[in-house]
Amino acid sequence: MEYSVLMTVYEKDNPEYFRKALMSMVKQTKKADEIVVVKDGPITRELQSVLDDIDKKNPNLIVQVQLPVNKGLGLALNEGIKVCKNELLARMDADDISLPTRCEKQVEQFENNPDLDIIGCPVIEFVGEPSNKVGKRDVPVDNEAIYKYCRKRDPFNHPTVMYRKSKVEAVGGYGDLRKNQDTDLWIKMLSNGAVCRNLTEYLLRFRFDEGTYKKGKNWLNTKLLIKIRWNAFRIGFCSFVDFVEVAGAQMAIYLLPTAFQEFVYKKLLRR
């Protein structure tokens, strides 16, 4: 089965991180026949230089999609999805690093299970260089566990997923949200019966920095996540108790000192 890689880049991305992320997809043991890169608004000369250099060395692989203005991750991904020519799409962020066998192993799962709609994997977090590992993000493996987990938390690490284009489009794609677009998408897909799986291997290195904690203390982030979870309750995907637990936790993260968020993340979410 052929697959497309789906990435976005915007002006504030780090060019060297972007180069490493993009090259990690170019060097997959099972090659993609296209890498669709959505430029979410005008990008810097340095970022464009990375694209041009890799495009020159890998002719007919990179598909560049230029958006006139920055639309945000979700809407930019929707534009990329429209362009992708394959049914299987491998997501990738502009600062992480996929291991060489990631896509080969994910495609193999789709070939073995024609009903499969989404597959991801756990990640190793690093700071600076990939060898400087600081943690990991585990995720549930089988379909039943993923559904149960999704009632309160994201069951996939977004940059690790490979999914079916038709299944994403069937639920309207990513929502017009500035934050938590992936949370919203997982709930929509699972509430519409998506068949899911996560591999047990750590096939992606996730770039982490201390600024990650600050994102959780953003009111927009907090408000949107509570709204998404409220909608999940309204459609019957989760219980009211599930909603209250998630909303309470998000408000605590927003209101309490950053040290509390760091403690919760390191002691609970990284288990």
pLDDT at 17 over 90: yes
Question: How does DSSP classify residue 265?
Answer: I
pLDDT tier, 126 (very low <50, low <70, confident <90, very high otherwise): very high
Give the residue carrying structure tokens 């809407």.
75
pLDDT averaged over every residue in the chain: 92
- CA 21 to chain centroid, in Å, comes to 13
pLDDT tier, 255 (very low <50, low <70, confident <90, very high otherwise): confident
**Residue among 129, 135, 126 at smallest CA distance from 265:** 135
Return the H-helix or E-strand segment holding 178: none
Write down the pLDDT at residue 194.
97
70-102 burial, b if ≥16 CB within 10 A, otherwise e? bbbbbbbbbbbbeebebebbbbbbbbbbbbeeb
pLDDT tier, 29 (very low <50, low <70, confident <90, very high otherwise): very high
- Between CA 9 and CA 72 the distance in angstroms is 10
pLDDT at 59 over 90: yes
pLDDT tier, 223 (very low <50, low <70, confident <90, very high otherwise): confident
Q: Are strands 97-98 and 118-120 parallel, antiparallel or unpaired?
A: unpaired
pLDDT at 215 over 70: no
Integer angstrom CA distances of residue 240 from 229, 231, 235, 246: 10, 11, 11, 10
Structure tokens belonging to residue 198: 């996560």
Write down the pLDDT at residue 192.
95
Ranges of beta strands (E only) in 127-193 are 133-137, 162-164
What would the mean pLDDT of 197-220 be, rounded to a whole number?
Answer: 81
Minimum mean pLDDT among 42-46, 163-167, 239-243: which range? 239-243
SS3 (DSSP) at 207? strand
- Residue 62: which region, alpha, beta or left (left: phi > 0; alpha: psi -120 to 50)? beta
Write down the pLDDT at residue 67.
97
SS3 (DSSP) at 103? helix
pLDDT at 37 over 80: yes
Write down the pLDDT at residue 264.
57
Write down the pLDDT at residue 209.
74
pLDDT at 246 over 60: yes
What would the mean pLDDT of 111-140 be, rounded to a whole number?
Answer: 95
What would the mean pLDDT of 253-270 be, rounded to a whole number?
Answer: 63
Cα dihedral across residues 96, 256, 222, 167: positive or negative:
positive
Lay out the sheet containing 3-9: strands in order across: 62-66, 34-39, 3-9, 88-91, 162-164, 118-120, 196-198
Write down the pLDDT at residue 249.
85
pLDDT at 205 over 60: yes
pLDDT tier, 260 (very low <50, low <70, confident <90, very high otherwise): low
Most trustworthy range by pLDDT among 81-85, 128-132, 247-251 = 81-85
Write down the pLDDT at residue 208.
86
